[in-house]
Chains A and B, each alone.
Chain A
Amino acid sequence: MTTTEARPAAPAAAGGKHQASDKSRSEARLAWLLAGPAFAVMLLVTAYPILQAFYESLFDYRLTDPANRSFTGLSNYGVILTDPVWWDAFGVTVLITVVTVAVELVLGFALALVMVQALKALRPILRAAILIPYAVITVVSAFAWQFAFAPDSGFVNSWFSFVGLAPDTDWFGSPGSAIFVICLAEIWKTTPFISLLLLAGLAQVPEVLQEAAKVDGATWWQRMRKVTIPNMKAAIMVALLFRTLDAFRVFDSVYVMTAGANGTEVLSFLAYRQTIARLEIGLGSAVSVLLFISVVLICGLFIKGFKVDLSQARGE
Protein backbone atom coordinates (compact mmCIF):
# COMPACT_ATOMS: atom_id res chain seq x y z
CA MET A 1 0.00 0.00 0.00
CA THR A 2 2.80 2.35 0.86
CA THR A 3 4.68 1.51 -2.29
CA THR A 4 2.26 3.52 -4.39
CA GLU A 5 3.71 6.71 -2.89
CA ALA A 6 7.14 5.94 -4.25
CA ARG A 7 7.90 7.61 -7.53
CA PRO A 8 10.78 7.09 -9.90
CA ALA A 9 13.74 9.03 -8.65
CA ALA A 10 14.12 12.42 -10.27
CA PRO A 11 16.90 14.76 -9.23
CA ALA A 12 15.88 17.59 -6.97
CA ALA A 13 17.01 20.18 -9.45
CA ALA A 14 14.45 18.92 -11.98
CA GLY A 15 11.73 21.45 -11.15
CA GLY A 16 13.20 24.51 -12.83
CA LYS A 17 10.46 26.81 -11.56
CA HIS A 18 11.69 26.60 -7.96
CA GLN A 19 13.58 29.58 -6.66
CA ALA A 20 17.09 28.95 -5.30
CA SER A 21 15.84 29.55 -1.75
CA ASP A 22 13.15 26.92 -2.26
CA LYS A 23 15.64 24.42 -3.56
CA SER A 24 16.59 22.92 -0.24
CA ARG A 25 12.95 22.66 0.76
CA SER A 26 11.98 20.89 -2.43
CA GLU A 27 15.00 18.64 -2.05
CA ALA A 28 13.90 17.70 1.47
CA ARG A 29 10.38 17.07 0.19
CA LEU A 30 11.63 14.80 -2.55
CA ALA A 31 13.90 13.02 -0.08
CA TRP A 32 11.02 12.26 2.26
CA LEU A 33 8.89 11.19 -0.69
CA LEU A 34 11.57 8.67 -1.59
CA ALA A 35 12.59 7.54 1.87
CA GLY A 36 9.16 7.87 3.45
CA PRO A 37 7.72 4.55 2.25
CA ALA A 38 10.66 2.56 3.65
CA PHE A 39 10.45 4.51 6.89
CA ALA A 40 6.69 3.97 7.12
CA VAL A 41 7.01 0.24 6.45
CA MET A 42 9.67 -0.12 9.15
CA LEU A 43 7.44 1.59 11.68
CA LEU A 44 4.43 -0.42 10.54
CA VAL A 45 6.16 -3.78 10.95
CA THR A 46 7.85 -3.05 14.29
CA ALA A 47 6.68 0.01 16.21
CA TYR A 48 3.03 -0.75 15.65
CA PRO A 49 3.22 -4.42 16.75
CA ILE A 50 5.24 -3.61 19.88
CA LEU A 51 2.70 -0.96 20.91
CA GLN A 52 -0.03 -3.49 20.26
CA ALA A 53 1.87 -6.02 22.39
CA PHE A 54 2.15 -3.52 25.21
CA TYR A 55 -1.59 -2.84 25.03
CA GLU A 56 -2.48 -6.53 24.99
CA SER A 57 -0.11 -7.24 27.88
CA LEU A 58 -2.44 -5.21 30.11
CA PHE A 59 -5.26 -7.72 29.71
CA ASP A 60 -6.05 -11.11 31.10
CA TYR A 61 -6.75 -12.59 27.69
CA ARG A 62 -6.54 -16.09 26.30
CA LEU A 63 -7.73 -17.07 22.85
CA THR A 64 -9.36 -20.22 24.17
CA ASP A 65 -11.58 -18.10 26.40
CA PRO A 66 -12.07 -14.75 24.62
CA ALA A 67 -15.28 -13.87 26.45
CA ASN A 68 -13.45 -13.42 29.72
CA ARG A 69 -11.00 -10.83 28.41
CA SER A 70 -10.53 -8.29 31.17
CA PHE A 71 -8.26 -5.36 31.92
CA THR A 72 -5.79 -6.22 34.65
CA GLY A 73 -3.21 -3.46 34.40
CA LEU A 74 0.33 -4.50 35.08
CA SER A 75 -0.56 -7.70 36.90
CA ASN A 76 0.74 -9.88 34.03
CA TYR A 77 4.16 -8.38 34.59
CA GLY A 78 3.89 -9.11 38.30
CA VAL A 79 2.97 -12.73 37.55
CA ILE A 80 5.93 -13.16 35.20
CA LEU A 81 8.56 -11.38 37.26
CA THR A 82 7.74 -13.37 40.38
CA ASP A 83 7.72 -16.68 38.51
CA PRO A 84 10.90 -18.78 38.60
CA VAL A 85 10.10 -19.93 35.02
CA TRP A 86 10.94 -16.43 33.76
CA TRP A 87 14.13 -16.21 35.81
CA ASP A 88 15.28 -19.70 34.74
CA ALA A 89 14.78 -18.75 31.09
CA PHE A 90 16.52 -15.45 31.75
CA GLY A 91 19.50 -17.26 33.30
CA VAL A 92 19.77 -19.73 30.41
CA THR A 93 19.54 -16.90 27.87
CA VAL A 94 22.25 -14.89 29.61
CA LEU A 95 24.46 -17.98 29.92
CA ILE A 96 24.12 -18.83 26.20
CA THR A 97 24.73 -15.18 25.27
CA VAL A 98 27.85 -14.78 27.39
CA VAL A 99 29.40 -18.11 26.40
CA THR A 100 28.74 -17.83 22.67
CA VAL A 101 29.74 -14.18 22.35
CA ALA A 102 32.97 -14.67 24.32
CA VAL A 103 34.02 -17.73 22.32
CA GLU A 104 32.94 -16.17 19.02
CA LEU A 105 34.94 -13.04 19.66
CA VAL A 106 38.17 -14.94 20.30
CA LEU A 107 37.58 -17.48 17.54
CA GLY A 108 36.37 -14.82 15.10
CA PHE A 109 39.48 -12.77 15.74
CA ALA A 110 41.68 -15.79 15.13
CA LEU A 111 39.86 -16.51 11.85
CA ALA A 112 40.24 -12.89 10.78
CA LEU A 113 43.98 -12.98 11.51
CA VAL A 114 44.43 -16.16 9.49
CA MET A 115 42.43 -14.68 6.61
CA VAL A 116 44.63 -11.60 6.56
CA GLN A 117 47.80 -13.69 6.47
CA ALA A 118 46.68 -16.64 4.39
CA LEU A 119 48.23 -17.20 1.00
CA LYS A 120 46.70 -15.35 -1.91
CA ALA A 121 45.71 -18.61 -3.57
CA LEU A 122 43.81 -19.70 -0.50
CA ARG A 123 41.93 -16.44 0.03
CA PRO A 124 38.97 -16.94 -2.34
CA ILE A 125 38.46 -20.45 -0.96
CA LEU A 126 38.49 -19.12 2.59
CA ARG A 127 36.07 -16.35 1.70
CA ALA A 128 33.64 -18.80 0.13
CA ALA A 129 33.98 -21.29 2.99
CA ILE A 130 33.42 -18.70 5.69
CA LEU A 131 30.24 -17.45 4.04
CA ILE A 132 28.67 -20.89 4.10
CA PRO A 133 27.90 -21.04 7.85
CA TYR A 134 26.62 -17.47 7.60
CA ALA A 135 24.28 -18.34 4.76
CA VAL A 136 23.11 -21.80 5.88
CA ILE A 137 19.79 -21.54 7.64
CA THR A 138 19.93 -21.84 11.42
CA VAL A 139 17.42 -24.69 11.45
CA VAL A 140 19.65 -26.77 9.18
CA SER A 141 22.69 -26.05 11.33
CA ALA A 142 20.71 -26.95 14.45
CA PHE A 143 19.63 -30.27 12.90
CA ALA A 144 23.18 -31.06 11.80
CA TRP A 145 24.51 -30.59 15.34
CA GLN A 146 21.57 -32.32 16.95
CA PHE A 147 21.89 -35.38 14.70
CA ALA A 148 25.65 -35.47 15.31
CA PHE A 149 25.20 -35.61 19.09
CA ALA A 150 22.01 -37.68 19.25
CA PRO A 151 22.63 -41.19 20.63
CA ASP A 152 20.73 -42.88 17.78
CA SER A 153 21.92 -41.02 14.68
CA GLY A 154 25.13 -39.38 15.82
CA PHE A 155 28.81 -40.14 15.47
CA VAL A 156 30.03 -38.02 18.37
CA ASN A 157 29.54 -40.69 21.04
CA SER A 158 31.43 -43.32 19.05
CA TRP A 159 34.16 -40.90 17.96
CA PHE A 160 34.85 -39.78 21.49
CA SER A 161 34.49 -43.15 23.17
CA PHE A 162 38.24 -43.03 23.90
CA VAL A 163 37.64 -40.34 26.52
CA GLY A 164 35.11 -42.59 28.21
CA LEU A 165 31.94 -41.42 26.49
CA ALA A 166 29.27 -44.11 26.66
CA PRO A 167 27.63 -44.90 23.28
CA ASP A 168 24.22 -44.01 24.70
CA THR A 169 25.23 -40.67 26.24
CA ASP A 170 22.16 -38.45 25.98
CA TRP A 171 23.51 -34.97 25.38
CA PHE A 172 20.05 -33.42 25.37
CA GLY A 173 18.96 -35.09 28.60
CA SER A 174 20.51 -32.65 31.03
CA PRO A 175 20.74 -28.84 30.97
CA GLY A 176 24.53 -28.58 31.04
CA SER A 177 25.31 -30.80 28.06
CA ALA A 178 22.25 -29.65 26.08
CA ILE A 179 23.24 -26.00 26.46
CA PHE A 180 26.79 -26.99 25.50
CA VAL A 181 25.58 -28.41 22.16
CA ILE A 182 23.26 -25.43 21.57
CA CYS A 183 26.22 -23.10 22.13
CA LEU A 184 28.39 -25.14 19.73
CA ALA A 185 25.78 -24.82 17.00
CA GLU A 186 25.34 -21.09 17.58
CA ILE A 187 29.10 -20.52 17.62
CA TRP A 188 29.60 -22.44 14.38
CA LYS A 189 26.83 -20.53 12.67
CA THR A 190 27.71 -16.97 13.66
CA THR A 191 31.49 -16.82 14.15
CA PRO A 192 32.01 -16.11 10.43
CA PHE A 193 29.90 -12.96 10.70
CA ILE A 194 32.04 -11.68 13.57
CA SER A 195 35.23 -12.57 11.76
CA LEU A 196 34.10 -10.67 8.65
CA LEU A 197 33.41 -7.56 10.72
CA LEU A 198 36.76 -7.92 12.51
CA LEU A 199 38.48 -8.47 9.17
CA ALA A 200 37.07 -5.16 7.96
CA GLY A 201 38.29 -3.61 11.23
CA LEU A 202 41.77 -5.08 10.75
CA ALA A 203 41.93 -3.50 7.32
CA GLN A 204 41.39 -0.09 8.91
CA VAL A 205 44.42 -0.32 11.22
CA PRO A 206 47.03 2.05 9.72
CA GLU A 207 49.93 0.09 8.24
CA VAL A 208 52.30 2.91 9.23
CA LEU A 209 51.68 2.34 12.93
CA GLN A 210 52.41 -1.38 12.57
CA GLU A 211 55.65 -0.67 10.76
CA ALA A 212 56.70 1.94 13.31
CA ALA A 213 56.07 -0.47 16.17
CA LYS A 214 58.02 -3.17 14.33
CA VAL A 215 60.98 -0.82 13.84
CA ASP A 216 60.87 0.02 17.54
CA GLY A 217 61.29 -3.68 18.26
CA ALA A 218 57.79 -4.49 19.51
CA THR A 219 56.99 -8.20 19.59
CA TRP A 220 53.98 -9.61 17.73
CA TRP A 221 51.99 -9.76 20.95
CA GLN A 222 52.92 -6.20 21.96
CA ARG A 223 51.90 -4.89 18.55
CA MET A 224 48.63 -6.76 18.85
CA ARG A 225 47.90 -5.30 22.27
CA LYS A 226 49.14 -1.75 21.76
CA VAL A 227 48.47 -1.08 18.08
CA THR A 228 46.05 -3.49 16.42
CA ILE A 229 43.37 -3.96 19.06
CA PRO A 230 43.10 -0.30 20.20
CA ASN A 231 42.81 0.77 16.58
CA MET A 232 39.96 -1.60 15.83
CA LYS A 233 38.09 -1.01 19.06
CA ALA A 234 35.13 0.44 17.18
CA ALA A 235 34.80 -2.59 14.90
CA ILE A 236 35.09 -4.93 17.90
CA MET A 237 32.38 -3.05 19.77
CA VAL A 238 30.00 -3.12 16.81
CA ALA A 239 30.57 -6.85 16.33
CA LEU A 240 30.09 -7.42 20.05
CA LEU A 241 26.89 -5.38 20.20
CA PHE A 242 25.30 -7.04 17.18
CA ARG A 243 26.19 -10.53 18.31
CA THR A 244 25.08 -9.97 21.91
CA LEU A 245 21.67 -8.78 20.78
CA ASP A 246 21.46 -11.61 18.29
CA ALA A 247 22.46 -14.24 20.84
CA PHE A 248 19.98 -12.87 23.35
CA ARG A 249 17.18 -13.62 20.87
CA VAL A 250 18.30 -17.24 20.33
CA PHE A 251 15.32 -19.37 19.33
CA ASP A 252 15.74 -21.62 16.30
CA SER A 253 18.49 -23.86 17.72
CA VAL A 254 16.70 -24.31 21.02
CA TYR A 255 13.42 -25.10 19.29
CA VAL A 256 14.99 -27.74 17.05
CA MET A 257 17.32 -29.38 19.57
CA THR A 258 15.37 -29.55 22.80
CA ALA A 259 12.11 -27.60 22.30
CA GLY A 260 12.94 -25.94 25.61
CA ALA A 261 12.94 -29.22 27.54
CA ASN A 262 15.39 -30.20 30.29
CA GLY A 263 16.16 -26.73 31.53
CA THR A 264 17.05 -25.18 28.19
CA GLU A 265 14.13 -22.78 27.83
CA VAL A 266 15.24 -19.34 26.66
CA LEU A 267 13.26 -16.08 26.78
CA SER A 268 12.23 -16.14 23.12
CA PHE A 269 10.97 -19.66 23.55
CA LEU A 270 9.02 -18.70 26.66
CA ALA A 271 7.31 -15.91 24.72
CA TYR A 272 6.55 -18.28 21.85
CA ARG A 273 5.19 -20.96 24.17
CA GLN A 274 2.88 -18.55 26.02
CA THR A 275 1.39 -17.00 22.90
CA ILE A 276 1.47 -19.44 20.03
CA ALA A 277 1.32 -22.73 21.87
CA ARG A 278 -0.77 -21.84 24.95
CA LEU A 279 -2.70 -18.96 23.33
CA GLU A 280 -2.23 -16.86 26.48
CA ILE A 281 -2.17 -13.57 24.57
CA GLY A 282 -1.96 -11.36 27.65
CA LEU A 283 0.89 -13.19 29.37
CA GLY A 284 2.72 -13.85 26.10
CA SER A 285 2.54 -10.19 25.15
CA ALA A 286 3.96 -9.23 28.54
CA VAL A 287 6.88 -11.65 28.01
CA SER A 288 7.44 -10.14 24.54
CA VAL A 289 7.48 -6.62 25.98
CA LEU A 290 9.90 -7.66 28.73
CA LEU A 291 12.18 -9.26 26.14
CA PHE A 292 12.03 -6.08 24.09
CA ILE A 293 12.90 -3.99 27.16
CA SER A 294 15.85 -6.32 27.91
CA VAL A 295 17.20 -5.82 24.40
CA VAL A 296 16.84 -2.05 24.68
CA LEU A 297 18.63 -2.16 28.07
CA ILE A 298 21.51 -4.23 26.65
CA CYS A 299 21.80 -1.76 23.80
CA GLY A 300 21.82 1.18 26.21
CA LEU A 301 24.40 -0.51 28.44
CA PHE A 302 26.68 -1.11 25.50
CA ILE A 303 26.41 2.40 24.15
CA LYS A 304 26.81 4.07 27.58
CA GLY A 305 29.12 1.59 29.28
CA PHE A 306 31.51 0.80 26.45
CA LYS A 307 31.10 4.19 24.81
CA VAL A 308 30.35 2.62 21.43
CA ASP A 309 30.17 5.42 18.95
CA LEU A 310 28.38 3.90 16.00
CA SER A 311 29.09 6.80 13.71
CA GLN A 312 32.80 6.45 14.47
CA ALA A 313 32.67 2.73 13.79
CA ARG A 314 31.09 3.48 10.47
CA GLY A 315 34.11 5.48 9.43
CA GLU A 316 32.39 8.86 9.35
Chain B
Amino acid sequence: MSIREKVGWGIGGLLIVVYCLFPIAWIVSLSFKSSADISNGSFLPTVATNENYETILTGDAAELFLPALRNSFGICLIATALACLLAMFAAYAIARLDFRGKKLILSTALAVAIFPVISIVTPLFNLWREIGLYDTWLGLILPYLSLTLPISIWTLSAFFREIPWEMEQAAQVDGATPWQAFRKVIVPLAAPGVFTTAIIAFFLAWNDFVYGISLTSTSASRPVPAALGLFTGASQFESPTGPIAAAAVIVTIPVVVLVLIFQRRIVAGLTNGAVKG
Protein backbone atom coordinates (compact mmCIF):
# COMPACT_ATOMS: atom_id res chain seq x y z
CA MET B 1 0.00 0.00 0.00
CA SER B 2 1.33 3.41 -0.91
CA ILE B 3 1.71 6.16 1.67
CA ARG B 4 -1.16 8.04 0.09
CA GLU B 5 -3.47 5.04 0.38
CA LYS B 6 -2.36 4.47 3.96
CA VAL B 7 -3.17 8.05 4.90
CA GLY B 8 -6.51 7.76 3.11
CA TRP B 9 -7.57 4.64 4.99
CA GLY B 10 -6.25 6.15 8.22
CA ILE B 11 -8.47 9.20 7.73
CA GLY B 12 -11.38 6.89 6.91
CA GLY B 13 -10.74 5.10 10.18
CA LEU B 14 -10.65 8.33 12.15
CA LEU B 15 -13.94 9.39 10.56
CA ILE B 16 -15.48 6.13 11.80
CA VAL B 17 -14.25 6.81 15.32
CA VAL B 18 -15.75 10.32 15.23
CA TYR B 19 -19.01 8.94 13.82
CA CYS B 20 -19.27 6.34 16.59
CA LEU B 21 -18.33 8.59 19.49
CA PHE B 22 -19.90 11.90 18.52
CA PRO B 23 -23.36 11.41 20.15
CA ILE B 24 -21.68 9.97 23.25
CA ALA B 25 -19.38 12.99 23.50
CA TRP B 26 -22.41 15.23 23.13
CA ILE B 27 -24.42 13.56 25.93
CA VAL B 28 -21.35 13.67 28.20
CA SER B 29 -20.89 17.37 27.43
CA LEU B 30 -24.59 18.01 28.03
CA SER B 31 -24.46 16.22 31.38
CA PHE B 32 -21.89 18.75 32.62
CA LYS B 33 -23.93 21.79 31.63
CA SER B 34 -25.61 23.82 34.35
CA SER B 35 -29.31 24.49 33.96
CA ALA B 36 -28.53 28.03 32.80
CA ASP B 37 -26.15 26.64 30.22
CA ILE B 38 -28.39 23.97 28.70
CA SER B 39 -29.77 26.31 26.07
CA ASN B 40 -26.49 28.03 25.15
CA GLY B 41 -26.75 26.55 21.67
CA SER B 42 -23.21 25.25 21.69
CA PHE B 43 -21.75 21.79 21.97
CA LEU B 44 -19.69 22.41 25.10
CA PRO B 45 -20.71 23.87 28.47
CA THR B 46 -19.28 27.29 29.31
CA VAL B 47 -18.42 26.02 32.79
CA ALA B 48 -18.47 22.32 33.66
CA THR B 49 -20.60 21.52 36.70
CA ASN B 50 -21.58 18.29 38.37
CA GLU B 51 -24.96 19.51 39.61
CA ASN B 52 -26.80 17.11 37.27
CA TYR B 53 -24.96 14.15 38.75
CA GLU B 54 -25.79 15.40 42.24
CA THR B 55 -29.47 15.63 41.28
CA ILE B 56 -29.70 12.01 40.21
CA LEU B 57 -27.32 10.46 42.75
CA THR B 58 -28.10 12.34 45.96
CA GLY B 59 -30.68 14.97 45.09
CA ASP B 60 -34.34 15.12 44.12
CA ALA B 61 -34.18 12.49 41.40
CA ALA B 62 -32.13 9.97 43.38
CA GLU B 63 -35.17 8.06 44.60
CA LEU B 64 -36.17 7.61 40.96
CA PHE B 65 -32.80 6.78 39.51
CA LEU B 66 -31.01 4.64 42.10
CA PRO B 67 -33.73 1.98 42.52
CA ALA B 68 -34.00 1.80 38.72
CA LEU B 69 -30.26 1.25 38.48
CA ARG B 70 -30.48 -1.50 41.09
CA ASN B 71 -33.43 -3.11 39.29
CA SER B 72 -31.65 -3.00 35.94
CA PHE B 73 -28.50 -4.62 37.31
CA GLY B 74 -30.40 -7.30 39.23
CA ILE B 75 -32.91 -8.18 36.55
CA CYS B 76 -30.41 -8.14 33.68
CA LEU B 77 -27.83 -10.21 35.56
CA ILE B 78 -30.39 -12.85 36.55
CA ALA B 79 -31.88 -12.97 33.04
CA THR B 80 -28.40 -13.26 31.54
CA ALA B 81 -27.37 -16.02 33.95
CA LEU B 82 -30.56 -17.99 33.31
CA ALA B 83 -30.26 -17.60 29.55
CA CYS B 84 -26.62 -18.68 29.58
CA LEU B 85 -27.35 -21.70 31.75
CA LEU B 86 -30.24 -22.91 29.59
CA ALA B 87 -28.39 -22.07 26.36
CA MET B 88 -25.30 -23.92 27.58
CA PHE B 89 -27.19 -27.18 27.94
CA ALA B 90 -28.95 -26.67 24.60
CA ALA B 91 -25.75 -25.69 22.76
CA TYR B 92 -23.91 -28.65 24.24
CA ALA B 93 -26.60 -30.96 22.88
CA ILE B 94 -26.55 -29.23 19.49
CA ALA B 95 -22.79 -29.28 19.12
CA ARG B 96 -22.05 -32.65 20.68
CA LEU B 97 -24.99 -34.98 20.30
CA ASP B 98 -26.73 -36.36 17.27
CA PHE B 99 -30.48 -36.04 17.50
CA ARG B 100 -33.54 -35.11 15.52
CA GLY B 101 -34.85 -31.68 16.32
CA LYS B 102 -31.53 -29.86 16.22
CA LYS B 103 -32.75 -27.76 13.30
CA LEU B 104 -36.07 -27.23 15.06
CA ILE B 105 -34.37 -25.75 18.12
CA LEU B 106 -32.12 -23.49 16.07
CA SER B 107 -34.97 -22.24 13.90
CA THR B 108 -37.17 -21.67 16.94
CA ALA B 109 -34.38 -19.54 18.37
CA LEU B 110 -34.25 -17.58 15.11
CA ALA B 111 -38.02 -17.16 15.10
CA VAL B 112 -38.00 -15.91 18.69
CA ALA B 113 -35.21 -13.44 17.85
CA ILE B 114 -37.26 -11.82 15.08
CA PHE B 115 -40.46 -11.79 17.13
CA PRO B 116 -41.90 -8.30 17.60
CA VAL B 117 -41.53 -7.63 21.32
CA ILE B 118 -44.62 -5.47 21.36
CA SER B 119 -46.73 -8.46 20.26
CA ILE B 120 -45.65 -10.34 23.38
CA VAL B 121 -46.14 -7.38 25.67
CA THR B 122 -49.88 -7.05 25.11
CA PRO B 123 -50.85 -10.52 26.35
CA LEU B 124 -48.19 -10.50 29.07
CA PHE B 125 -49.48 -7.20 30.43
CA ASN B 126 -52.87 -8.82 30.91
CA LEU B 127 -51.59 -12.17 32.16
CA TRP B 128 -49.06 -10.68 34.60
CA ARG B 129 -51.79 -8.55 36.16
CA GLU B 130 -53.94 -11.62 36.68
CA ILE B 131 -51.26 -13.83 38.23
CA GLY B 132 -49.46 -11.10 40.17
CA LEU B 133 -46.24 -10.86 38.17
CA TYR B 134 -46.96 -7.29 37.05
CA ASP B 135 -44.35 -4.89 38.44
CA THR B 136 -42.09 -7.62 39.86
CA TRP B 137 -38.54 -8.68 39.02
CA LEU B 138 -39.69 -12.11 37.87
CA GLY B 139 -42.24 -10.40 35.64
CA LEU B 140 -39.36 -8.87 33.69
CA ILE B 141 -36.85 -11.72 33.96
CA LEU B 142 -39.15 -14.15 32.14
CA PRO B 143 -39.84 -11.93 29.11
CA TYR B 144 -36.17 -10.90 29.01
CA LEU B 145 -35.41 -14.55 28.25
CA SER B 146 -37.09 -13.98 24.88
CA LEU B 147 -34.37 -11.40 24.17
CA THR B 148 -31.38 -13.19 25.64
CA LEU B 149 -32.03 -16.88 25.02
CA PRO B 150 -32.05 -17.01 21.18
CA ILE B 151 -28.77 -15.17 20.70
CA SER B 152 -27.20 -17.17 23.54
CA ILE B 153 -28.14 -20.44 21.85
CA TRP B 154 -26.82 -19.28 18.46
CA THR B 155 -23.52 -17.88 19.67
CA LEU B 156 -22.87 -20.70 22.14
CA SER B 157 -23.51 -23.45 19.61
CA ALA B 158 -21.13 -21.65 17.24
CA PHE B 159 -18.48 -21.65 19.97
CA PHE B 160 -19.15 -25.20 21.12
CA ARG B 161 -18.83 -26.57 17.57
CA GLU B 162 -15.24 -25.46 17.49
CA ILE B 163 -14.30 -27.28 20.68
CA PRO B 164 -12.33 -30.48 19.97
CA TRP B 165 -14.66 -32.87 21.75
CA GLU B 166 -12.29 -35.82 21.20
CA MET B 167 -10.19 -34.48 24.07
CA GLU B 168 -12.96 -35.41 26.45
CA GLN B 169 -12.81 -39.02 25.32
CA ALA B 170 -9.04 -38.97 25.51
CA ALA B 171 -9.28 -37.87 29.14
CA GLN B 172 -11.72 -40.70 29.82
CA VAL B 173 -9.32 -43.20 28.30
CA ASP B 174 -6.72 -41.85 30.69
CA GLY B 175 -8.99 -42.82 33.57
CA ALA B 176 -11.09 -39.73 34.22
CA THR B 177 -14.78 -40.22 34.92
CA PRO B 178 -17.10 -38.67 32.31
CA TRP B 179 -17.98 -35.86 34.70
CA GLN B 180 -14.32 -35.19 35.51
CA ALA B 181 -13.45 -35.21 31.81
CA PHE B 182 -16.20 -32.75 31.12
CA ARG B 183 -15.33 -30.45 33.99
CA LYS B 184 -11.56 -30.48 33.60
CA VAL B 185 -11.30 -30.48 29.79
CA ILE B 186 -14.42 -29.05 28.24
CA VAL B 187 -15.42 -26.42 30.78
CA PRO B 188 -12.13 -24.47 30.53
CA LEU B 189 -12.36 -24.56 26.72
CA ALA B 190 -15.98 -23.45 26.74
CA ALA B 191 -15.63 -20.75 29.38
CA PRO B 192 -14.54 -17.89 27.05
CA GLY B 193 -17.47 -18.59 24.74
CA VAL B 194 -19.93 -18.65 27.61
CA PHE B 195 -18.47 -15.42 28.95
CA THR B 196 -18.76 -13.66 25.57
CA THR B 197 -22.31 -14.87 25.18
CA ALA B 198 -23.12 -13.55 28.64
CA ILE B 199 -21.87 -10.08 27.69
CA ILE B 200 -23.89 -9.96 24.47
CA ALA B 201 -27.00 -11.23 26.26
CA PHE B 202 -26.49 -8.66 29.01
CA PHE B 203 -26.32 -5.85 26.41
CA LEU B 204 -29.65 -6.97 24.97
CA ALA B 205 -31.37 -7.14 28.35
CA TRP B 206 -29.82 -3.82 29.46
CA ASN B 207 -31.16 -2.20 26.26
CA ASP B 208 -34.78 -3.27 26.75
CA PHE B 209 -37.36 -0.51 26.86
CA VAL B 210 -40.71 -1.94 25.73
CA TYR B 211 -41.00 -4.55 28.50
CA GLY B 212 -39.64 -2.07 31.01
CA ILE B 213 -42.29 0.59 30.46
CA SER B 214 -45.16 -1.84 29.88
CA LEU B 215 -44.79 -4.39 32.65
CA THR B 216 -43.77 -2.16 35.54
CA SER B 217 -45.42 0.71 37.33
CA THR B 218 -43.26 1.59 40.33
CA SER B 219 -39.64 1.75 41.42
CA ALA B 220 -40.07 -1.83 42.69
CA SER B 221 -39.03 -3.18 39.33
CA ARG B 222 -38.75 -0.35 36.80
CA PRO B 223 -35.42 -0.62 34.96
CA VAL B 224 -33.25 2.35 34.00
CA PRO B 225 -34.24 2.78 30.32
CA ALA B 226 -37.90 2.92 31.29
CA ALA B 227 -37.20 5.27 34.20
CA LEU B 228 -35.30 7.54 31.80
CA GLY B 229 -38.06 7.44 29.22
CA LEU B 230 -40.72 8.31 31.76
CA PHE B 231 -38.68 10.82 33.76
CA THR B 232 -40.43 14.18 33.73
CA GLY B 233 -38.16 16.10 36.05
CA ALA B 234 -37.86 16.88 39.70
CA SER B 235 -39.94 19.99 39.32
CA GLN B 236 -42.68 20.60 36.83
CA PHE B 237 -41.25 23.88 35.68
CA GLU B 238 -37.80 22.75 34.76
CA SER B 239 -37.14 20.50 31.83
CA PRO B 240 -35.00 17.55 33.06
CA THR B 241 -32.51 17.61 30.17
CA GLY B 242 -29.38 17.84 32.34
CA PRO B 243 -30.31 15.09 34.82
CA ILE B 244 -31.40 12.79 31.98
CA ALA B 245 -28.06 13.36 30.27
CA ALA B 246 -26.21 12.55 33.50
CA ALA B 247 -28.27 9.40 34.02
CA ALA B 248 -27.66 8.43 30.40
CA VAL B 249 -23.91 8.77 30.94
CA ILE B 250 -24.04 6.61 34.07
CA VAL B 251 -25.92 3.76 32.34
CA THR B 252 -23.54 3.97 29.40
CA ILE B 253 -20.42 3.56 31.54
CA PRO B 254 -20.77 -0.20 32.28
CA VAL B 255 -21.42 -0.86 28.63
CA VAL B 256 -18.40 1.12 27.45
CA VAL B 257 -16.16 -0.55 30.02
CA LEU B 258 -17.28 -4.02 28.86
CA VAL B 259 -16.73 -3.03 25.22
CA LEU B 260 -13.24 -1.67 25.87
CA ILE B 261 -12.12 -4.75 27.78
CA PHE B 262 -13.68 -7.46 25.66
CA GLN B 263 -13.98 -5.89 22.20
CA ARG B 264 -12.19 -8.67 20.36
CA ARG B 265 -14.34 -11.37 21.94
CA ILE B 266 -17.59 -9.50 21.43
CA VAL B 267 -16.94 -9.03 17.72
CA ALA B 268 -16.04 -12.70 17.36
CA GLY B 269 -19.14 -13.77 19.27
CA LEU B 270 -21.48 -11.51 17.32
CA THR B 271 -20.23 -12.48 13.90
CA ASN B 272 -19.78 -16.17 14.68
CA GLY B 273 -23.29 -16.43 16.03
CA ALA B 274 -24.86 -14.56 13.15
CA VAL B 275 -22.77 -15.63 10.20
CA LYS B 276 -21.33 -19.01 11.11
CA GLY B 277 -23.78 -20.18 13.85
Interface size, chain A (Cβ < 8 Å): 110
Q: Judging by beta carbons under 8 Å apart, are B121 and A276 in contact?
A: yes
Tell me the nearest residue of chain B to A259, going by C-beta.
B229
Q: Judging by beta carbons under 8 Å apart, are A38 and B41 in contact?
A: no
Q: Quick check: is B62 within 8 A (CB to CB) of the other chain?
A: no
Q: Judging by beta carbons under 8 Å apart, are B116 and A292 in contact?
A: yes
Q: Judging by beta carbons under 8 Å apart, are A38 and B105 in contact?
A: yes
Given contacts A14-B178, A45-B146, A132-B24, contact A158 B41 (CB under 8 A): yes
* Chain B positions within 8 Å of A129 at CB level: 16-17, 20-21
Q: Judging by beta carbons under 8 Å apart, are A128 and B260 in contact?
A: yes
Q: Judging by beta carbons under 8 Å apart, are A252 and B209 in contact?
A: yes
Majority SS of interface residues in chain A? helix
Majority SS of interface residues in chain B? helix
Interface size class of B (residues with CB under 8 A): 35 or more
Q: Judging by beta carbons under 8 Å apart, are B99 and A31 in contact?
A: yes
Q: Quick check: is A60 within 8 A (CB to CB) of the other chain?
A: no
Given contacts A9-B92, A46-B112, contact A119 B13 (CB under 8 A): yes
A33 to B: closest C-beta gap in Å: 8
Q: Quick check: is B59 within 8 A (CB to CB) of the other chain?
A: no
B85 to A: closest C-beta gap in Å: 7
1/0 per residue, CB under 8 A from A, across B111-151: the answer is 11011111111111111000000000000001101100110
1/0 per residue, CB under 8 A from A, across B245-277: the answer is 100100110011011100110110011001111
**With contacts A44-B142, A143-B245, A147-B241 known, what are 10 further pairs, Cβ within 8 A?**
A27-B99, A37-B86, A42-B149, A139-B229, A158-B42, A196-B270, A200-B275, A268-B116, A285-B123, A314-B276
Q: Which residues of B contact A (CB under 8 A)?
A: 1, 5-6, 9-10, 12-17, 19-21, 23-24, 26-27, 30, 38-39, 41-43, 82, 85-87, 89-90, 92-94, 96-102, 104-105, 108-112, 114-127, 142-143, 145-146, 149-150, 153, 168, 172, 178-179, 181-182, 203, 206-207, 209-210, 213-214, 224-225, 228-229, 239, 241, 244-245, 248, 251-252, 255-256, 258-260, 263-264, 266-267, 270-271, 274-277
